[in-house]
Amino acid sequence: MVKTATAKEVLHTTVDMPFEDAVPAIQLEHELADFETINVSYLDEMIQGTLGKSVSRVALIIVCHPQIAYGALKINPEIAGMLPCTTVVYESPEDGLVHVHHVSATKAIRDLGLVPSESKESLDQLVALTGEKMQVVWQNIRTYAK
């Protein structure tokens, strides 16, 4: 059974800075918490460039924490496809604000039932570790909150 993420489980805030300043600031907060940036991808530019269609500005900050990656690989290398972690920064045309949104990859692995039941305890520990690491990031991002 697939579990639906609750608002309490999803990290979301708005920041009091322009989009072009928010993306590097949010990326830096991840790096200061020992996440490694894999890539920053601007979906709006990709869509405009390949489809010629305009959308609001959206950036994916794709990061991975070595301890989380190691823990996931120890549980089952097949779940590595659910890594790394991604935080989205986007401008909302509805409210004119810059939003920052993150859903836990390890919680998704758990909630989708992607590991055998004998790995449940290890996965629960990995979810807890991810939560601890992201709370550090999120606490610092909230200093930019609107």
CATH no. for residue 66?
Answer: 3.30.310.70
Asked whether residue 3 is assigned to any structural domain, the reply reads no
Cα 44 from Cα 93, distance rounded (Å): 13
User: Is 8's pLDDT higher than 80?
Assistant: no
- Provide the domain count of the chain: 1
Q: What is the mean pLDDT of residues 79-101?
A: 92
Q: Compute CA distances 66 → 11, 74, 90, whole Å.
A: 21, 12, 26
Asked whether residue 2 is assigned to any structural domain, the reply reads no
Straight-line distance from the first to the last Cα atom of the chain, in angstroms, rounded to the nearest whole number = 37
Asked whether residue 107 is assigned to any structural domain, the reply reads yes
Cα 23 from Cα 40, distance rounded (Å): 9
- pLDDT at residue number 95: 94
User: Is 70's pLDDT higher than 90?
Assistant: yes
Count of Cβ atoms closer than 10 Å to residue 39 Cβ = 10
- pLDDT at residue number 72: 92
Which band of pLDDT confidence, cut at 50, 70 and 90, is reported for residue 79? confident
Query: Which residue range is the domain that position 111 belongs to?
Result: 11-144
Asked whether residue 26 is assigned to any structural domain, the reply reads yes
Asked whether residue 123 is assigned to any structural domain, the reply reads yes
> Token pair for residue 39?
């890539």
Asked whether residue 60 is assigned to any structural domain, the reply reads yes
Count of Cβ atoms closer than 10 Å to residue 15 Cβ = 21
Asked whether residue 4 is assigned to any structural domain, the reply reads no
- pLDDT at residue number 21: 97
Asked whether residue 68 is assigned to any structural domain, the reply reads yes
User: Is 57's pLDDT higher than 70?
Assistant: yes
pTM of the complete model: 0.86
pLDDT, tens only, 106-137: 888 888 888 888 889 999 999 999 999 999 99
**Average pLDDT across the chain, whole number:** 90
